[in-house]
Amino acid sequence: MAQHDPWLLTPGPLTTSMTVKQAMLHDWGSRDAGFVAINTHMRKRLVDLIGGGKDFTTVPMQGSGTFAVEAMLGGFVGPKDKLLILINGAYGKRMAKICEYYKRATAVLEWPEDQPVDPAKVREALAADQAITHVAVVHCETTSGILNPIAEISKVVAEAGRKLLIDSMSAFGALPIDVNSVTFDAVAASSNKCIEGVPGLGFVLCRISALEKTKGNAMSLTLDLFEQWQNLEKTSQYRFTPPIHCIVAFDQALTEHEQEGGVAGRGGRYRNNHKILVDGMRALGFETLLPDRLQAPIIVTFHMPADPKFVFEQFYDGLKDRGFVIYPGKLTVADSFRIGCIGRIGETEMKAFLAAAKDVLNGLGVASGRPHNKAAE
Ligand SMILES: *Cc1c(COP(=O)(O)O)cnc(C)c1O
């Protein structure tokens, strides 16, 4: 590998370590005892990350993160249930779309993409509609990078006697989600975000007592969470070919996560990346969509600069030529673009990125990244 791969400042897949990549340089049979042991170990380690003890289990699901979210909703929300979906971005909307396919009863509460979910509104909605059995929320809405208050939301949901399902895809492993501070029946995440593995595996951490009651709910053979779990428990095997290389690399990524100090260590590095990025971009005149208090240290949305000489495609290509991949915006509330601070990157890469951004702006003749309408805060 003479030429270095680009640094991925995106919401995932992300830059991975060389040792994670090297873990994939073997052929394994899916019934290989060594692989089975790694898979069992991986499942246990994920339960440990949420302090789940004997009450929780990991059900891995082949595919990207959305496969895990779909398996979670399709498994936990039964034909007689009703799901309240809390939406403040594209991933909340995606959960609503999944429920349309499954023809499950739903209700929706929606906020603008730059506003967090409001637990008080959730409380009102649950009091007003007794048919609601479950609530679904996104932990960090990657659309904007906003952090939703899942501990407060979980409190409201538990007090109302309902069950919580969480999409923690872009936060899991970097922001704490612990069974002692957040009450939930299931949380979905994937191999290729803050754990820094390669793409190919989603997983759902499930409360066993709740999972036991989901038999027969799934309307998809491949995404049947209950059957996947039963099969893994009984035979230690996947029902269908697992992404073996991805799982072995994921286990290596979990070792490196642990070596870095677990969630606190990983989150600490990302917070540092985030600070360097935001301070540096602000020094170049750019403004963030979100005030700092709403922002998760995962991915940052910046307003598009006002200077007509700033053409996003040229900025993007210039950065790509200098070895950095950023991400277009996905917002409806503002014209924007996004820069991630997760993956196997640190201070050196963030500082090199800022130097590259400055260089590209100079090349375009853009004096400042200042947007049209100054951000609110
Ligand atoms: C990345 C992500 C997903 C899953 O996306 P895939 O492309 O299926 O991996 C789901 N929810 C959130 C919040 C995400 O950031």
Tens of pLDDT along the chain (377 residues) come to 435 899 999 998 999 999 999 999 999 988 899 999 999 999 999 999 999 999 999 999 999 999 999 999 999 999 999 999 999 999 999 999 999 999 999 999 999 999 999 999 999 999 999 999 999 999 999 999 999 999 999 999 999 999 999 999 999 999 999 999 999 999 999 999 999 999 999 999 999 999 999 999 999 999 999 999 999 999 999 999 999 999 999 999 999 999 999 999 999 999 999 999 999 999 999 999 999 999 999 999 999 999 999 999 999 999 999 999 999 888 878 899 999 999 999 999 999 999 999 999 999 999 999 998 654 44
> What phi-psi label fits residue 72: left (phi over 0), alpha (psi between -120 and 50 degrees) or beta?
alpha
CATH architecture of 7-12+262-374: Alpha-Beta Complex (3.90)
Cα(62) to ligand 1 centroid in Å equals 14
**pTM flag (> 0.85):** yes
Tell how far the Cα of 22 is from the centroid of ligand 1, in angstroms: 25
CA 8 vs CA 94, 115, 317: distances in Å: 24, 27, 13
Atom of ligand 1 nearest to the CA of 139: 13
Which residue among 10, 66, 177, 298 has the greatest number of ligand 1 atoms within 8 angstroms of its CB, and so is best to mutate? 66
Mutate to test the pocket of ligand 1, among 117, 139, 190, 298 (most ligand atoms within 8 A of CB): 190
Beta bridge partners of 324: 7
What pLDDT was estimated at residue 3? 58
pLDDT for 333: 80
Kindly report, as residue ranges, where domains of CATH 3.90.1150.10 are found in the chain: 7-12+262-374
In which residue are the tokens 């053409």 written? Answer: 311
Amino acid (one-letter) located at 118: D
CB burial of residue 72 (10 Å; 0-12, 13-18, 19+)? buried
CA-proximal residue: ligand 1, atom 2 (nearest): 169
Distance (angstroms) between ligand 1 centre and the Cα of 66 equals 6
State pLDDT tens for residues 136-174: 999 999 999 999 999 999 999 999 999 999 999 999 999
Q: Which atom of ligand 1 is nearest to the CA of 170?
A: 15
Question: Nearest-CA neighbor of 171 among 266, 96, 59?
Answer: 266
pLDDT at 7 (0 to 100): 97
| Tokens 């399902």, located at residue | 165
- Ligand 1 midpoint to CA 372 (Å): 30
Output the CA 144–ligand 1 centroid distance in Å: 13
CA of 276 to the centre of ligand 1 (A): 25
Distance of CA 348 to the CA centre of its chain: 24
Sign of CA dihedral 259, 260, 261, 264: negative
Name the residue of 61, 62, 69, 91 to mutate for ligand 1: max ligand atoms within 8 A of Cβ. Answer: 91
Cα(282) to centroid(ligand 1), Å: 28
Tokens matching residue 72 = 């979670």
Secondary structure (H, E, C), 196-260: CCCCCEEEEEEEHHHHHHHCCCCCCCCCCHHHHHHHHHHHCCCCCCCCHHHHHHHHHHHHHHHHC
Q: Supply the pLDDT for residue 374.
A: 54
Top mutation candidate among 61, 64, 194 for ligand 1, by most atoms within 8 Å of CB: 64
Assess if CATH 3.40.140.10 describes domain 18-259.
Answer: no
Residue 64: the pLDDT is 98
CATH 3.40.640.10 region(s) of the chain?
18-259
Residue ranges lining ligand 1, Cβ < 6 Å: 11-12, 64-66, 69, 91, 138, 142, 167, 169-170, 190
